[in-house]
Structure 1
Amino acid sequence: MGNQEFPKKSPPEVQLFTDGACRGNPGPGGWAYILRHPASGREKEGSGGAALTTNNQMELTAVIEGLKALKAFSAVEVITDSTYVAKGSQEWLPGWKARGWKRKEGKQLKPVKNVEYWQELDKLLADHQVHFTVVKGHSGHAENERCDELAVAAALEYQLES
């Protein structure tokens, strides 16, 4: 009786739609996410920005903030229009870590750009079962368009403050 194995409960499946925007690069920027639990239909939106940032930093921040919003271990599909974030997370990250957060540039090793963002994202990726889907930006994808709208609005708030 004591050795019976019970089936493991699979983690909740969620979709995380993300986008980042920048008014100038660098310049005032914004990020946004939509977190959706398809089984219940529940959604949560989040957005914010920074006065002086880059588009890549805002794309990374959108995923970071979306993953931070999760309360428990989850199976997450990140839907983004950022090939930089998707490839970095799925392909480049293991090599960067193995080389002490350095990237290959020709025969030289150079520091990874936006390393503090990548290190934070790396920790969050380890807390969940994550895969990425890249969509074409500004192509009528409803959630991507909504994230873009929220991210641009956040960037404009910071642009107006400066």
Structure 2
Amino acid sequence: MTNQLTIYTDGASRGNPGPGGYGAILMWGGHRKELSAGYRRTTNNRMELMAVIAALEALTKTGLHILVYTDSNYVAKAVEEGWVFNWVKKDFKDKKNKDLWLRFLTLYKQHHIRFRWVKGHADNPLNNRCDQLATAAADSGPLLTDEGYEREAAGAAQ
């Protein structure tokens, strides 16, 4: 399909929680764009999901057919197997990352998105590049604040 946007994503966390980052590669026709950012304290699952969100937020059009490659079963299965839609119905009872999932779902509704899981740290050069982007972002500064994580962590500490 020539009018399909392909996105590769990866998230990383140095410690879980700890400093983290995401990397994403967007490819459309002959064009390629890389995105990354680092956060001072977050989790791996949040960065996996944030990579997808950042890629979708970078888009200027709606209604696109998008194939997202991720090495995160948490993200891929949550969407492809419908878990996240049940989480919404139960207001994310006993589930983490509600803020990011709601942010993702707003973007998800604007496009036609499918997810494909790929084995991480294997022989996929684009997934490996996303890993490099994510870990470099986690290891460099200045790091952003993952406000959703910090709010959630503060609430759990009380």
| TM-score normalised per structure 1 | 0.82
TM superposition shift of 1:159: 9.2
1:7 matched residue in structure 2: none
Structure 1 unaligned regions, length at least 5:
1-9, 103-109
- State the aligned residue count: 142
Larger radius of gyration: 1
1:142 matched residue in structure 2: 125
1:48 matched residue in structure 2: 37
4+ long deviations beyond 3 Å: none
TM superposition shift of 1:41: 1.2
**Is the aligned partner of 1:61 residue 2:50?**
yes
CA deviation vs aligned residue, 1:3-37 (integer Å, no higher than 9, x gap): xxxxxxx9931001000011111000010100001
**Is the aligned partner of 1:93 residue 2:84?**
yes
**Is the aligned partner of 1:16 residue 2:7?**
yes
* Residue pair 2:23, 2:134 contacting (<8 A) in 1 also: yes
The AA in structure 1 aligned to 2:102 is Q
**Which of residues 51, 66, 70 is equivalent to 2:59?**
70
Name the CA shift for 1:129/1:25 in 2 (closer, same or farther; >3 Å): same
Local SS of the residue matching 1:67: helix
Local SS of the residue matching 1:71: coil
1:146 & 1:65 partners in 2: Cα distance? 16
**Percent identity between the aligned chains?**
45
2:107 matched residue in structure 1: 124
TM superposition shift of 1:70: 1.2
2:97 & 2:141 partners in 1: Cα distance? 21
